[in-house]
Amino acid sequence: MYYFLFVFLFTVSCTTDHGISTSGGDRFIDSLLSQMTLEEKVGQMTLYVSRWAVTGPTLNGDVEKELRAGRVGAVYNAISVEYVRRLQKIAVEETRMHIPLIFGFDVIHGFKTIFPLPLAEACSWDLSLIEKTTALQAKEAAAAGLNWTFSPMVDIARDPRWGRVVEGAGEDPYYGSLVAAAKVRGYQGADLASPATLLACVKHFAAYGAPEAGREYNTVDMSERTLREVYLPPYHAAVAAGVGSVMTSFNDLNGIPSTANRWLLHDILRGEWGFRGVVISDYTSINELVNHGIAADEKEAALLAIRAGVDMDLQGGDYIRNLPALVREGRVPEALIDSAVFRILKAKYALGLFDDPYRYLDEEREKKTILSQEMLGHALQAAHESVVLLKNDTVGGRPLLPLSKKVHKVAVIGPLGDSRRDMLGSWSGAGNSGDVTTLLQGIRDKLPGAVVRYAGGCELTGDDRSGFSEALALARSSDVVILALGEGAWQNGEAASRSDINLSGMQEELAEAVLNAGRPTVVVIMAGRPLTIARLAEKAPAIVYGWQLGTTAGTALADILFGDYNPSGRLVISFPRNTGQIPVYYSMKTTGRPKSDQKFTSKYLDIPNTPLYPFGYGLSYTRFEYSGLSVAKDTIAFGEPLTITVRVKNSGDRDGIEVVQLYVRDVVASVTRPAKELKGFRRLSLKAGEEKTVSFTLTSDDLRFYDREMRFTAEPGAFRVFVGRNAEETLEGGFYLKK
């Protein structure tokens, strides 16, 4: 009889920690630990990656041998019920301790059904939607035998040259924290033992989103104040929401790589925040301590990582090769190993794997869940809400968008007009491009009676203009042109930093030629980051930022272009005018010489300080008017609530959704403060002609920051409040916080 069946012998009180919640299990885990050899313990701290061959997923011979010896605790990249069952059977039936494996995968924005890229979906400002998306991702991935996702990525990113900006929620710590918590709740659900949930892993701890020059894996150097105020809050929010695991980052932070940073992992994560879950290295990041130059060899790297607080080694095999010897040499206390293994076994217990290691493995559920109507329907809704309308000029007496469904001849031009793979975006899980609806197909489905033709015009990269003539001929013979431009899936994500984030290849030249053809033209940009599109923004009458929306991309974009969905997305990251302006973000400080008409002030000679499109920006097919900003009191005391109200009216002729945003500025403080900080928002649905009053509540807790002595506090003084449609277009009021 398998060891996991003995769990019923142990009944203990419920424990709840920042990390995972379980109904007991501590005595069971302690008993298990007492019977394990040192090598078996370190085996639980070891995760290996399954590879893909022509015939499907496989483990190499050495790893499978290690697995049978009980020296593997988790497997990454093993998908499908059939394959997971085979590996789990080895673990629980052929090893001495019968300890089940945990199976992990990068379920970043979908498993088989691919939802919009995380940065795109963040532009919905719809936390309930985001939570449901992650819950459905978990449900689908769990149906394929998985029980651990290396998501959410909650790194604040203000440099769009960095490819992994695509995986986060943008530039703002307040909003990023709300998204982080929503995703943890979505993945883990109310009961982690449910076969429809996944153990979440927040990453990358810490400050991975701020590499110098936006270059992947590069060093990060910043003040502790900036770290704590801007970069740490989303991780903290994920921990407070009960995330079960945390992944270290590749970068060093102020000279100490995260994977060897005891101050981060022990003092802050476990000490200050009370995290009790599993800390896992990023892929071979323990081994890479040698490359960083703080470990002479991999044995020393393992020593540094375990002392810092890393529980599990992802793929590097450094722990299994070196920790047993380090323990026997007296350099690592075995109690340190026991603590790490306890946390790993507790995660497996919380997932219900000791009760039934095959609980996730149901072929019938796998067939019913993957690419189901439940998944595809929500993917379409998420795609609708993610799209941001950037420009919509009047053409022929009316806004160009939405387009009329009575149009007869439509030209779809551009390298992304009929691309299935690129619609999935980077980190597209086990998604299949064959399941994707492209923009071309979406428009054809929308307009069955029209003639919808396609010409690529050019490739995403290179200088080949040979397709221009076909594209221009098609444009001139059409009633309306839709230009499909942007990035390929391979141009964003990990190891996809770009020094120039303009439209690559001949795309901008193609766009200019097509725009000069004189036909009504809508530009649809599909990308995983903000691109520098200043020239295009000046010339194109309409621009839709369609990101990379996943499986239902083409249907969603067609719905928006032809008016079946009124775009409601709002940017969560500022769009730079050019690459030289980076970083540009809304919460910059004013400096001692704010920009003015004088020469010796903080400005560029060639462009404004402001972004091309600010944080919070996005248009609609209707109009919203703000009026009557009211701050209930001129003065409040510490702890006293302050109500701020504003009237918002839909003054157009279509129903629509507005995102009403509240910003605050601390006018005088002991340290310099940002010009504006987001402190609240409301996603407001208004019928045509309808007006509503929107209320926000602030207290002194919302005004806290790290003062000159690094105390997290609010200070008395004057504050300004700003309410509006984005960080730049606001109404303004004020109040005073007294002692």
Contact 443, 452 (CB under 8 A): yes
DSSP of 687-708:
-TT-EEEEEEEE-GGGG-EE-T
DSSP of 324-365:
HHHHHTTSS-HHHHHHHHHHHHHHHHHTTTTT-TTTT--HHH
What 8-state DSSP symbol labels residue 228? I
Contact 43, 311 (CB under 8 A): no
What 8-state DSSP symbol labels residue 84? H
Residue with tokens 């996730």: 360
Separation between Cα atoms, residue 614 and residue 12, nearest integer Å: 53
What 8-state DSSP symbol labels residue 564? S
Separation between Cα atoms, residue 509 and residue 489, nearest integer Å: 21
Integer-rounded Cα Rg, in Å, for the chain is: 27
Q: Is the peptide bond before 402 cis (omega within 30 degrees of 0)?
A: yes
Separation between Cα atoms, residue 576 and residue 418, nearest integer Å: 28
Three-class HEC string of 39-71: HHHHHHCEEEECEEECCEEECCHHHHHHHHCCC
Q: Which of 105, 138, 109, 78 is closest to 424 using CA atoms?
A: 109
Separation between Cα atoms, residue 423 and residue 22, nearest integer Å: 39
What 8-state DSSP symbol labels residue 114? B
Q: In Å, what is the CA distance from 571 to each residue of 166, 253, 316, 388, 434?
A: 13, 28, 38, 7, 30
Separation between Cα atoms, residue 352 and residue 340, nearest integer Å: 19
What element of type H or E holds 203? strand 201-205
Dihedral sign (CA 564, 113, 156, 221): negative
And the tokens for 638?
A: 């510490």
How many CB atoms within 10 Å of residue 448? Answer: 7
Q: Is 100 left (phi over 0), alpha (psi -120 to 50) or beta?
A: beta
Edge-to-edge, what's the strand order for the sheet holding 624-631?
624-631, 642-650, 691-698
User: Residue 54 contacts by C-beta under 8 Å, 6 or more apart in sequence?
Assistant: none
* Alpha carbon of residue 655 to chain centroid: 29
Contact 276, 343 (CB under 8 A): yes
And the tokens for 593?
A: 């010489």
Contact 671, 717 (CB under 8 A): no
Given 159, 282, 418, 666, the catalytic residue? 282
Residue with tokens 């890479």: 288
What 8-state DSSP symbol labels residue 259? G
Angle made by CA atoms 57, 62, 68, in degrees to the nearest 5: 85
Edge-to-edge, what's the strand order for the sheet holding 677-686?
635-637, 730-738, 717-724, 656-666, 677-686
Active site residue 282: yes
Burial 123-150 (b: 16+ CB within 10 A, else e): bbbbbebbbbbbbbbbbbbbbbbbbbbb
Phi, psi of 34 (to 5 degrees): -65, -20
| Amino acid letter, residue 413 | I
And the tokens for 352?
A: 């219900």
How many CB atoms within 10 Å of residue 668? Answer: 10
Q: List residues with catalytic annotation.
A: 282
